[in-house]
Structure 1
Amino acid sequence: MTLIEQPNITAMQTEASTVRYLNQYRCPYCQTEWEDVWDCACNDRCPDCNKEIEPYESVLIDGESVETESPVEEPVLANATPEGMNRRFVASYEIDYVHRVSVGITADSPEAAQEIAEQAFNDATIWDDTATMPLLSDEYLESGDESLLWECVAVEQLPEPDHSVRQLKKEQAAMRVCRGLVEAYQHGEANGGSIDWDDLDQLIPLSLQALGKPALEIQS
């Protein structure tokens, strides 16, 4: 179990909040415990695994009251400038999708074809795109039930891109390498069949990125 100590002054305390609560959290996924001050008994994100967790206890901070014309001064923010008030947020949205996969199957009946497809799914081979079971489509379709949900969470530092973004960048780099190879051979053909090595050398960093390898692995 990890105990996380949060700063005394949170992002929400910089707002003109009327009351504040000390919320206690315990993550059931990684057993991390932490506390934070908010203007309500709201959910918070686990600082370790980023799961949304409800507070198991929320206590009104003593001495808090509705804001008046002479609010309590915050010494920590006394010298804050407008530039210093800029905060970082992670804005996310979720949309319900239907994952539709279609494969080609030769069988005696629809039932037999479905049985073959189900077995391939269970064996994780349905995406192998073989001659006997070609992959015909693999797409994500919006469910169409107006399920768009937004979430905006205040953070001290923006997190590193996760595996989905890293994979997307690899695929984009691979496509740029493919286009670069085609262009290099087209230039070589136009120049009498000789390919300029510079056209190929500039593709090496992109190739390493597509493979998920650091540029330092380039051999001189």
Structure 2
Amino acid sequence: MKTINQPSVGATPTGNSAVCYLNQYRCPYCQTEWEDVWDCACNDRCPDCNKEIEPYESALIESEAAETGSPAENSASANVTAVGMNRLFVVSYEIDYVHRVSVGITADSPEAAQQLAEQAFNDATIWDDTAAMPLLSDEYLESGDESLVWECVAVARLPEPDHSVRQLKKEQSAMRVCQGLIEAYQQGETNGGSIDWEDLDQLIPLALQALGKPALGIQS
């Protein structure tokens, strides 16, 4: 077995990282065996045939070398704790879309109508949905050229959801608040016009989430 320091796929050398893994590799193509230290249980390339190989064993290293920034070669004397082969991945895909927006415009010619729309676009007012320029559609359509691209990256921990996911959760919470209000008023009509405060109180956390505000203590 030989130890190498080869560039890995989807990972970086440990360097000064406080978390590192001792990975064991065995190439099924040329039977070469080696070990290396990385910041996750990642694939590596065979030093002889350059094939991408998964580690058959990976161990979390807790060593002073990682804490002090000393070379990873000191890992031989580190306290090694075996871990399973299950790893975290961020899997993403990209696909081309066409953003199509339609508005209603009153003009004396197609050229004049387009000029008004272009000016509204440049002024960032085309989405205002006014009586003079009502918004008719705002949608994303797949381009249809089959440009689907996948990406898979090994990570030590999953990142926090980005703004798109946070916005989606806000919209979902807002919709649930609307549904809850309708149900509360319908129940109030059934009860002779009296709405139970508990039916409204349970909607407050959802409303705060929709607004991106912290939860409040509700006193009954």
TM-score of Structure 1 vs Structure 2, range by shorter chain: 0.5 to 0.7
Amino acid paired to 2:179:
R
User: Contact 1:100–1:140 (CA<8 Å) still a contact in 2?
Assistant: yes
> 1:215 aligns to what?
215
Q: Deviations over 1:109-163 (max 9, x none)?
A: 1110100000000000000000000000000000011111111100001000000
> 1:172 aligns to what?
172
> 2:198 aligns to what?
198
User: Contact 1:92–1:151 (CA<8 Å) still a contact in 2?
Assistant: yes
Distance 1:196 1:122, change over 3 A: same
Give distance in 1, aligned partners of 2:140 and 2:166.
19
Give distance in 1, aligned partners of 2:48 and 2:19.
17
**Where does 1:1-220 land on structure 2 (aligned, <5 Å)?**
5=15, 7=17, 13=23, 15-16=25-26, 39-40=44-45, 64-65=47-48, 80-82=82-84, 85-216=85-216, 218=217, 220=219
User: Contact 1:21–1:38 (CA<8 Å) still a contact in 2?
Assistant: no
Amino acid paired to 2:205:
P
Q: Deviations over 1:54-105 (max 9, x none)?
A: xxxxxx9xxx5569xxx9x9867975243xx221000001110000000000
Distance 1:113 1:20, change over 3 A: farther
Normalization by structure 2: what TM-score? 0.68
Give distance in 1, aligned partners of 2:100 and 2:192.
48
Q: Structure 1: any 5+ residue segments left out of the alignment? A: 23-36, 41-59
Distance 1:141 1:20, change over 3 A: farther
Give distance in 1, aligned partners of 2:209 and 2:103.
31
User: Contact 2:22–2:35 (CA<8 Å) still a contact in 1?
Assistant: no
**Which structure has more strand as a fraction of its residues?**
2
Distance 1:80 1:210, change over 3 A: same
Give distance in 1, aligned partners of 2:151 and 2:21.
16
SS at match of 2:82: coil
SS at match of 1:205: helix
Q: Percent identity?
A: 69
